[in-house]
Amino acid sequence: AQSVTQLGSHVSVSEGALVLLRCNYSSSVPPYLFWYVQYPNQGLQLLLKYTSAATLVKGINGFEAEFKKSETSFHLTKPSAHMSDAAEYFCAAPNQAGTALIFGKGTTLSVSS
Amino acid sequence: DGGITQSPKYLFRKEGQNVTLSCEQNLNHDAMYWYRQDPGQGLRLIYYSQIVNDFQKGDIAEGYSVSREKKESFPLTVTSAQKNPTAFYLCASSIHSQMNTEAFFGQGTRLTVV
């Protein structure tokens, strides 16, 4: 069955430091993968998506993610954290039937000055 | 502006009552979804609809019901059978039901049982 695992429920970085949020997926077929961001009491906003066109995907707000099939990973990175990046981040992939997205449990990113 | 509108933003329910959460989209999307979000649990799929007049149970459908009479509307009813309804509910839509395209989300409804 398809599943998405986010390693680390909380990540703390200093402003200007590298951001790395980890996501691993399980599937026997090439996936479509997504990263979403959620600010408090709001809906989810798409950061970026992988749809087999390129393994390195660039998204909004300076974020990018690299699809690594050998590692079944799709980690999210940003070279330099801003205070405004503090939010909850979700990795998502289609369910086995391809009819809806399934989500990881989320990683809360804290950014300190 | 196109988007997904959920209402109300906050909702309080007495135990034993049914409540209905509204979700409207003007994106002309075929597929719509309801998710429940609890702290540390991520998003869990309640129901989804791929076309008008059709919907399917998700992973946690017990205690919930939906309808899809119009393309733009997908209301969710939380029934008295739902044992622990306090949560943040998110509605989403996608252009079609094949999940190689992203889902767009509303701003959510926070339901509290009092």
On chain B, the residues whose CB falls within 8 A of the CB of A88 are: none
Grade residue B29 by pLDDT with cuts at 50, 70 and 90: very high
Q: Given this model, what pLDDT does residue A28 score?
A: 63
On chain B, the residues whose CB falls within 8 A of the CB of A43 are: 4, 6, 90, 105-108
Assess B107–A contact: CB distance below 8 Å, yes or no: yes
Contact B108 A105 (CB under 8 A): no
Kindly state the average pLDDT of the residues A42-71. Answer: 93
Q: Given this model, what pLDDT does residue A52 score?
A: 79
On chain B, the residues whose CB falls within 8 A of the CB of A104 are: 42
Q: Is the pLDDT of residue B64 over 70?
A: yes
| Burial state string for A20-32 with b = 16 or more CB within 10 A and e = fewer than 16 | ebbbbbebeeebb
The set of residues, in sequence order, having a beta carbon less than 8 Å from that of A93 and lying 6+ positions away, is A2, A4, A25, A27, A31, A32, A33, A34, A101, A102
Chain A, 23 to 42: residues with Cβ < 8 Å from chain B are: 32, 34, 36, 41-42
Grade residue A103 by pLDDT with cuts at 50, 70 and 90: very high
Kindly state the average pLDDT of the residues B33-45. Answer: 94
Q: Rounded to an integer, what distance in angstroms lies between the CA atom of residue A20 and that of residue B13?
A: 40
Q: How distant is the Cα of A103 from the closest Cα of chain B, in angstroms?
A: 6
Longest dimension (CA), chain A: 44
* Closest alpha carbon within chain A to B51: A99
Q: Given this model, what pLDDT does residue B69 score?
A: 98
Kindly state the average pLDDT of the residues A48-54. Answer: 87
3-state helix, strand, coil in chain B (%, to 5): 0, 50, 50
Q: Is the pLDDT of residue A29 over 70?
A: no
Q: Is the pLDDT of residue A79 over 70?
A: yes
Residues B96 and B32: beta-carbon distance below 8 Å: no
Residues B6 and B22: beta-carbon distance below 8 Å: yes
Assess A86–B contact: CB distance below 8 Å, yes or no: no
Q: How distant is the Cα of B43 from the closest Cα of chain A, in angstroms?
A: 6
* Closest alpha carbon within chain B to A95: B99
